Structure 1
Amino acid sequence: MVKLNAVRDDIKKLSNSVELMAVSKTHPYSAILECYELGQRLFGENRVQEIEEKFPKMEERPQDMYLALIGHLQSNKVKKAVALVDRIDSVDSIKLLLLINKECEKLNKVIDILFEVNSSGEEQKSGFTSKEELFEAVKLLKDLKFVHLRGIMTVGPLGDDREKNIKAFKYTKNIFDEIKSSYISDIDILSMGMSGDYKEAIECGSNLVRIGTAIFGQRDYNV
C-alpha cells in the first residue's frame, strides 16, 4: 500500500505551491499505477535500464503520466533516454547537454531539462561543480533548439545534518535566482529535497520534491 496521501498532506502543511514527484526506484509498475489512480501524475526514475524494463512505451502509458529521469545519465544511454522520458532532470555537463540536443534533433523532439548542481561538493555526487561551467551551459541554450531548460535540481548532502542541508539548498536557490534574473526568466522548477530532507528543502525555496521511500517503502536493491 503506497503512502501517497500521507506525504501529500505533510507537504501541504509546509507549502501549497510545492509539486510532488513520486520516485519508484526498484518498485513495480503496479505501485506506480496505484499512485496514478490516487491522482499522482509526475513520476521519477533513476536508471534508463529500469525505465526500459518497467514502463510501457510512451505511447502506451496513460496520456497524462509524466516521467522524468533523475539519475545520472551516461553518454551511451542518451539515445534511449530521450525516447523514453518527458524530461531529463540530471543534465550535469555541457557534453551531455550537447548529446541530448543532438539525439532529440534526430527525433524532431524538444525535451525539457533541468541542470543538476552538485551543491555539496561531494565527489560521489553528479552535477555541475563550477558555477562558471553551469552559466556557460545556460548561455549555449540559445543555439540549441531541441532542449528547453525548466530549472535546476540538486541532491542534498549525505547524512542528516540540517545545517549542511540548508547550506546546500540555499546555494542552489541562489543559482536558480541568478539564472532566472540574468539569463532565462521563464525557468520555473527548483527541484530540491527527498524523503529525508524535503522539509529543509521547502524551507529554502524548493518547489518540487522527489519522494520515494516515504511513499513506496524501503527499496529492494536485489531487484
Structure 2
Amino acid sequence: MDSAAQRLAGVEAGIAAAAARAGRKASDVQLVAVSKTHDSSTIRPLIAAGQRHFGENRVQEAAGKWPELRGGTSDIVLHLIGQLQSNKAEEAVALFDAIHSVDRPSLVTALARACEKAGGQPLLFVQVNIGDEEQKGGCAVADLPALLAQAKDAGLKIAGLMAIPPADVAPTPYFALLDELAERHGLPLRSMGMSGDYESAVMLGATHVRVGTALFGAR
C-alpha cells in the first residue's frame, strides 16, 4: 500500500497539474485533509509527511483527538467542514481555525456572539446548497444575499463559499456556479472539490479542496 507521504505527493501533484492547466499557481489552492472518523495513528503519518490543514465534521470528535495531535506542532490548521449546531458555536470558534458550514440565520447569530466573546473569529465560509437538495445543509442560492448581509451586519467577515455538488452527476456545472456566486458577491475563497473531483474544482476556481480517501486510502 502507498505510504501517507506518497499519497500526499500524488494529490499535491494533481493539484499542481490542474492549477497549471487553468493558468493558476498550485500555491493558490489549499489542500484540506479530511480526517473525520480517522484516529490519531492514521493521521500522524500525514502530519509527519508535511500536511498541516485538516478537516473534521463534528466538534465533539475533533475536541477529543486534536489537542493531543496538535501537541508540539503549532502550525496545524483545523477546518470544520460538517454541519454546526448553533449551541456548539462557542466551542467551534475556540477549536477551529476555519468553519466552512455557515448556512442559516440562527447560526450567524450564534457565531457572532461566540466570536465577540472570543475576541476574534475563524475563517468563515457560507455553505450553499448548490444542488437544491432537501437532505443537504447549506443555504439556498436565493437566500445567499440575505445571509451574507446578516453576517456583515453581525460583524462576521465571510471570506468565501463552500458547496458539495449532488452525487452521481457531473460536478463541473456546480463548481462553475459556486465560482460565479463568489465572484458576484466579492468573496475571494471557494471551498469545493473532494477526492474524486478536486482537479476539476481547481480548474474552476477552488481555493480549498477537501480530500479524504485519496489521502487516507479506501476504508
Q: TM-score, normalised by structure 1?
A: 0.86
Structure 2 match to 1:196: 196
RMSD: 1.9
AA at the equivalent of 1:213: T
Is 1:209 equivalent to 2:209 in the alignment? yes
Aligned residues between the structures: 208
Is 1:10 equivalent to 2:14 in the alignment? yes
Q: Distance in 1 between matches of 2:184 and 2:119?
A: 31
Q: Secondary structure at the match of 1:8?
A: helix
Gaps of 5+ in 2: 20-25
Q: Secondary structure at the match of 1:43?
A: strand
AA at the equivalent of 1:18: V
Q: Secondary structure at the match of 2:152?
A: helix
Structure 2 match to 1:184: none
Which of 167, 171, 181 pairs up with 1:175? 181
AA at the equivalent of 1:142: K
Write out aligned runs for 1:4-153 (5 A): 4-15=8-19, 16=26, 17-56=28-67, 60=71, 62-131=73-142, 133-145=143-155, 147-153=156-162
1:41 offset after TM fit, Å?
1.6
Q: Runs of 4 or more off by more than 4 Å in structure 1?
A: 57-61
Deviations 1:55-74 (A, max 9, x none): 11798462211101000111
Gaps of 5+ in 1: 181-186
Change in Cα spacing, 1:59 to 1:36, as seen in structure 2 (3 Å) is: closer
Change in Cα spacing, 1:207 to 1:110, as seen in structure 2 (3 Å) is: closer
Over the matched positions of the two proteins, sequence identity in percent amounts to 39
Q: TM-score, normalised by structure 2?
A: 0.87
Q: Secondary structure at the match of 2:185?
A: helix
Contact 1:156 1:197 in 2 (8 A): no
1:32 offset after TM fit, Å?
2.7
Change in Cα spacing, 1:59 to 1:6, as seen in structure 2 (3 Å) is: closer
